[in-house]
Amino acid sequence: MDEERPIFIPDEWSDAAETIAIGDSITSPPPVTLICGPKNSGKTTFSRHLVNILLQRYKKVAYLETDVGQTLFTPPGCLSLTTIDKITTDLKIACLKTPERCFFFGDISSKRDPTTYLKSIFSLYDYYWNKYCMFNKRENPGNTGLPLVINTPGWVKGIGYDILVDMLKYIAPTHVVKICISAESKNLPTGPFWLDEGDDTAVNLIEVNSARQDSLKRSILKSNNARDLRDQRILDYFKQCFPTDLNVIFIKDLANALASHPPYEISISSVKIKHLHCQVPTAETFYSLNATIVGLAVSSADYEHLPSCVGLGIVRGIDTSKQLLYIITPVPQNILEKVDLLLQGFIQIPTCLLQVQGCNSPYMSANVLLTS
| Angstrom distance (rounded) from CA 179 to CA 190 | 11
State the pLDDT at residue 305: 78
Per-residue pLDDT reduced to its tens digit, 311-336: 999 999 899 889 999 999 999 999 99
Residue 174's pLDDT is: 94
| C-alpha span between 282 and 265 (Å, rounded) | 22
Q: Give Cα 238 distance to the centre of its chain.
A: 16
Q: Are 49 and 62 in contact (CB under 8 A)?
A: no
The rounded distance, in Å, linking the Cα atoms of 7 and 44 is 12
Among 79, 235, 87, 99, CA closest to 151: 79
Was domain 226-370 assigned CATH 3.40.1550.10?
A: no
Give the pLDDT confidence score for residue 213 in this predicted structure: 56
Q: How many CA atoms lie within 13 A of 224 on its CB side?
A: 15
pLDDT of 58: 93
Considering Cα of 233, then 239, then 244, then 247, what sign does the dihedral take? Answer: negative
Q: Where in the chain is the domain with CATH 3.40.50.300?
A: 11-209
Low-confidence ranges of the chain (pLDDT < 70): 1-6, 24-27, 135-144, 212-224, 301-304, 356-372
The pTM score is 0.89
What pLDDT was estimated at residue 218?
41
Please check whether residue 245 is in contact with residue 251, taking contact to mean a CB–CB distance below 8 angstroms. no
What is the enclosing helix (H) or strand (E) of 132? helix 114-132
- pLDDT of 198 reads 82
The CATH number of domain 11-209 is 3.40.50.300: yes
What are the residue ranges of CATH 2.40.30.330 in the chain? 226-370
CB 165 within 8 A of CB 121: no
Hey, what amino acid is at 27? T
Q: Is 107 left (phi over 0), alpha (psi -120 to 50) or beta?
A: beta
